[in-house]
Amino acid sequence: MQIAVIGVGYVGLVTAAGLAESGNRVIGYDIDAGKIAVLQQGQSPIYEPGLERLLAHNLHNQRLHFTADLGEALREAELIFLALPTPSTAAGEADLSHVFAAAESIASTLQALAPGSLPYRIVVTKSTVPVGTARQLQAFFEQRLPGQIRVASNPEFLREGFAVEDFLKPERVIIGTPDPQVAETLRRLYLPYTRQGNPIYLMDWESAEMTKYAANAFLAMRISFMNELARLCEKVGANIDWVRLGMGADSRIGRRYLFAGVGYGGSCFPKDTRALAALAQKHHLRLQLVEATIAINASQRAFFLEKITAYYRGHLQGRTLAVWGVAFKPDTDDIREAPSLEILAQLRAQGVTLRVYDPVALPRLRQTYPDWPLFYATEAYEATQGAEALLILTEWSEFRQPDWKRLRANLHAPVIFDGRNLYDPAEMAKLGFDYLSIGRAPVYAYSTAAAS
């Protein structure tokens, strides 16, 4: 099939490369000419495991092309995927200005390209959009190009760090359309990706759009539930890790998204939970579980910060702390709404000097906050040199088994505040560390020994 992908950010780029992989001819379009120039060289502007290989392979085989010329992208396109940002407004709603600006540009460009050259084109919303957006887009195109555009909803379910795998081997494909011909076209498009038997669900526009919000809100709710439960575990002497294992063994619950920590972040969960809550309020309803999920997540950063403040009895001014991890999760350079950002900002405001390290996200941090006076370490142990404690904010694999002797030699005091529960408290006690994590009893092996 001839496909155009409008917007080659995170979702659009993975979608374009993934669709080309099964033999489609795909043109990715973006208004950012600099990004297009980078992509034309086979380089990815984002960090995502496996993506550059996919780009190089399909560029080499001439199935994938990138352009800043919308006319070139649309001229032969049977399918037009919209993969555009839908950020939160001040009220928490999804901002659709990018989506409808693109729709206007598509309509104008197709009018200039003799729209009758194809019987019809299918515009597919890949972006996460509020319920009712596909219907609004269909009405818009019917006014501008009567009979020439059919709209479908095809929400993405890509996990950052696993996005290539998720696209090529999806757990499910959701297609929302009232049109049987459109449904069949999209079903055939996705058949090569579902040969192992994973389902393709055909449904109406609104149900497809709601499915994406419902899935993200539910996963976010699981995280917030575990974070709130972790606070209670600390009060009553329970261990959240054992609780998680016991819960996850129940097939009705499952093991995933049950890890306590400093909260969720990224481009999806925060934005989508806010948008879902705002949508309910617009219809004079309150989604109290979703609202509680949002509130718990926001307060989890303060919960972690309080551990640090309490340990130093409120005296943070002038201290130097090391930080491992700033990305919102491992295997990505995405720092959008990462828990680390608020924690770093609060510590800076209290006069703390911060030495930070992340395997891939530091350029994003430096670009986003150029005025933050941080020390950017080139490797993990450089960040710990001369620091009074180590904070762990992202669970990168390279942090899981550190060189304990080297780490202890670098730190002024063997103190770790672990926001991702990477280490065994009993082992930390044997190593002589003070170790404060989430939902588990604190370890005071160093401070107790020093006081004796």
The whole-angstrom separation of Cα 95 and Cα 89 is 6
Q: Using CA of residue 375, residue 370, residue 329, residue 39, what is the dihedral sign?
A: negative
| Contact by Cβ (8 Å): 90, 18 | no
Beta pairing class for 200-203 and 173-176: parallel
Count CB atoms within 10 A of the CB of residue 319.
18
Ranges of beta strands (E only) in 30-157 are 64-67, 79-82, 121-125, 149-153
3-state helix, strand and coil shares in percent for the chain, rounded to the nearest 5: 45, 15, 40
What residues contact residue 445 under an 8 Å CB cut-off, 6+ apart?
A: 428, 429, 430, 431, 432, 433, 434, 435
Mention every residue, 6+ apart, whose C-beta is less than 8 A from residue 413.
388, 389, 434, 446
Cβ atoms 263, 297 nearer than 8 A: yes
CA distances (Å), origin 423, targets 308, 321, 398, 401, 433? 18, 19, 13, 9, 11
Q: Which of 6, 19, 226, 268 is catalytic?
A: 268
Is 268 marked active-site?
A: yes
Question: What is the DSSP pairing of strand 415-418 with strand 25-29?
Answer: unpaired
Whether residue 228 contacts residue 248, with contact meaning beta carbons closer than 8 Å, is answered with: no
Per-residue burial over 115-133, b if 16 or more Cβ lie within 10 Å, else e, is: beebebbbbbbbbbbbbeb
Q: Which residues contact 132 (CB under 8 A, 6 or more apart)?
A: 205, 206, 209
- Token pair of 199, please? 């389902």
- 237-269 burial by CB neighbour count: b if 16+ within 10 A, else e? ebbbbebbeebeeeeeeeeeebbbbbbbbbbbb
Residue positions annotated with a catalytic role: 268
